[in-house]
Structure 1
């Protein structure tokens, strides 16, 4: 886990861009020697299909559906297609341009005693090729290729984000189903208590105040159950949007929450941040900005184009392709602006400022990535201890409720003490459930922060993300 990423990131950022201005090393972020929060376990490896170790077929199905129909993923794929088209255009500009021309015209020649209109036909091949003296076309092509890389990585990031949001939404829904069961059991228990209390009130064994308290507790828990129903509906419709389906046609039946919780391995290396597609995209965007500095600098070079043409011209269409009608020509066209009012210099300054902005954006993205990892690792460490404490609290609250119920039935304590014990057990059960849910959420958050897992090569993971696995 002890490592420093500065040389690695410097090499990745500056590779292939040495021909133009470079980014100062001070602008590049540094990875920590070690993460502050460390967990210990013998955890299995997570691959690009990182959600499968949760061992939940419903989750597997939801992720598959989301990858096929999610609109955010489709929009990212569309932006990638546009970037590839732009790359094709930039590549074509470096190749000779060959075209066919044909024409027909009718005119008269001045100076003749009796001008006679004549028809003239022409046909030929035209060849044009721009000599890339300053490397402008090469830099434009390189920048477009880096834009494609960035879009590929952003598509992978969109897939990963959707996968993580589907997992988080689904796990939150399953936790909510369990919480609803707890509240409904409590409502049923209060209903039994109310029935018993009403009988005792009719017999004159309890006061009206005790009866009112039970009714209030029952109504409060019924209201809480309805609030959880509303929250479940919101989670379900949010999942519908993620999987790209109409909310009115989407539903998930409540089932027992049996989803496994993958263990986080000890000693996560900071190099795992390399697999994050958003960081890879920011790096490609930085390199593209660097290439565009070269484009702006190449504007100072003269433009030089080679042209050639060959064909035929004839007054008779039938004679157009005969040897006597053949024509040819070759030319060299050059241009060098002498005074442009500072336009080219401004273009270079703009490109350099954009490069500085890309470097700042990369640094910010890197720092946010480190924060994400630290937050999730720290949360998992604290949640593990909190889970143990919550389990003890649930056990103690359950024992206290059983004792209070026995004492109440024997007339040793008031109903108020029994209601307090029941409220305490409910609160502790729900708190323990929320801790368990937070552990799942933090695990998914850590997987997202590490770019989709914590094992395997970076190249393999990124390639799998691009393929949508």
Structure 2
């Protein structure tokens, strides 16, 4: 009697396991209560109809070629993003690792024995003998209770979470770069303002010195004018510390050493754009961090099935076929062939000190924790949108009022200077008017930078043009897997 393990038999066994039971609950995304509209929409200026959708390259809304160039370099140069991409590929291959448990494991072996039988034994050929062997063995544990399939499901969900995490990091890095860029430009604006103010103060100092020379002004006026002029110059120099830090941060974000990046000084001359806004319900599909939390919840749900399947018995099947001969040249003769079915074994844990029960409860607890984290992530997302909507609106109102304050302070300074030149007021009035005017001008520049920062931060709060369709499907997981990945040894260069 001859027994042959055919591909049809393997296919039949695989079909049986794939149609078998699957322990644990099937995943259903929990329902959330979503507000009908954002609270801080009052006074919101929506973008033009042609720009009603937030694009992937959202930074182009700011119409700044230099910013566009820097943002493009984040995707190719940032090493934190490269690390996240590698971690996603690692998670992707964990799916393949889990899938491999669905298939039998085959191994080949070759043996050689040289031995002498003990005296007194009845042997066909006495003396020293050789024994050659060649065998092919196969073992398989059918996935009767869905443990492996649940693990594949969990690893797939984890890989999808890793992909969403990578996108969330990309969006965060892009937003951080834009914030640093506009903070740097705001400092350039303050520097230009202080330099211009120092020049104006120097002219007044010259006037004061001339008045002192003819006996109209006191020496104290000259000293105070010099002190005020040098104080403004010192403030302008001090801004260089912060500017250098922002410049260095930008260099690191694009994957370069700080010595390689030099940002020319250019004052802030851009207004915040109108950021397209979607409905609150759409936020659940637009934020990659929400997708990450949701996929982690789905993975923990599948792990409940893995833990529950451990309660049931496991079935192990084995088969071996091969050749044995005392002569190497006759090893592959059909007469030397042998086969064996087995061992076939069923194993069931009778007592494990509560380990499986604890693991099952841990899986449920992990799901509950991830479900709570998902809901918290959603609430935080709504908070961030509301915060930045309020910031954009309130800062715009404040900026309008501040511009009026700047105009009034400038007018007051001009009037006071004219009075000082006419000799009707002393220099203390000039100093007070100068201080008020400079303070209001600096506040106006800072407000402009704050408005741009709020507009930038609103973009990632709204998802930055990302949506759930960019999460790779289970079919996408294996698109980069080659047939050589199924071999036990690498036959080609794996890129290392």
2:159 aligns with one of 141, 148, 154: 148
Cα distance per residue 1:403-423 (max 9 Å; x no partner): 222222122222221222222
Flag the 1:278–1:19 CA change in 2: closer, same or farther, 3 A: farther
Partner in structure 1 of residue 426 of structure 2: 414
Instruction: Verify: 1:391 aligned to 2:400, yes or no.
Output: no
Identify the structure with bigger relative contact order (alpha carbons < 8 Å, sequence gap 6+): 1
Give me the whole-angstrom Cα distance separating, in 2, the residues matched to 1:22 and 1:123: 46
Q: In the alignment, is the contact (CA less than 8 A) between 1:175 and 1:433 conserved in 2?
A: yes
Partner in structure 2 of residue 345 of structure 1: 357
Report deviation, 1:283. Answer: 0.5
Instruction: Verify: 1:303 aligned to 2:314, yes or no.
Output: yes
Instruction: Verify: 1:36 aligned to 2:39, yes or no.
Output: yes
Instruction: Verify: 1:438 aligned to 2:446, yes or no.
Output: no
Give me the whole-angstrom Cα distance separating, in 2, the residues matched to 1:124 and 1:340: 36
Q: In the alignment, is the contact (CA less than 8 A) between 1:120 and 1:315 conserved in 2?
A: yes
The 10-residue stretch of structure 1 (431-440 or 278-287) with the greater mean CA deviation from structure 2? 431-440
Q: In the alignment, is the contact (CA less than 8 A) between 1:127 and 1:308 conserved in 2?
A: yes
Flag the 1:461–1:52 CA change in 2: closer, same or farther, 3 A: farther
Q: In the alignment, is the contact (CA less than 8 A) between 2:192 and 2:267 conserved in 1?
A: no
Cα distance per residue 1:262-312 (max 9 Å; x no partner): 213466444224211111011100110111111110001111122222111
Q: In the alignment, is the contact (CA less than 8 A) between 1:55 and 1:260 conserved in 2?
A: no
Partner in structure 2 of residue 13 of structure 1: none
**SS of match in other structure, 1:204:** coil
Report deviation, 1:459. Answer: 3.9
- Given the two structures, how large is their TM-score scaled by the length of structure 1? 0.89
2:459 aligns with one of 425, 447, 454: 447
**SS of match in other structure, 1:261:** coil
Instruction: Verify: 1:355 aligned to 2:360, yes or no.
Output: no
Q: In the alignment, is the contact (CA less than 8 A) between 1:273 and 1:451 conserved in 2?
A: no
Partner in structure 2 of residue 371 of structure 1: 383
**SS of match in other structure, 2:272:** coil
Report deviation, 1:452. Answer: 0.3
Instruction: Verify: 1:171 aligned to 2:182, yes or no.
Output: yes
Give me the whole-angstrom Cα distance separating, in 2, the residues matched to 1:269 and 1:133: 44
Report deviation, 1:148. Answer: 0.5
Q: In the alignment, is the contact (CA less than 8 A) between 1:200 and 1:206 conserved in 2?
A: yes
Instruction: Verify: 1:20 aligned to 2:32, yes or no.
Output: no
Report deviation, 1:154. Answer: 0.4
Report deviation, 1:124. Answer: 2.4
Instruction: Verify: 1:458 aligned to 2:463, yes or no.
Output: no
How do residues 85-124 of structure 1 correspond to structure 2 at under 5 angstroms?
85-110=93-118, 111-112=120-121, 116-124=127-135
Structure 1 unaligned segments of length 5 or more: list them: 1-17
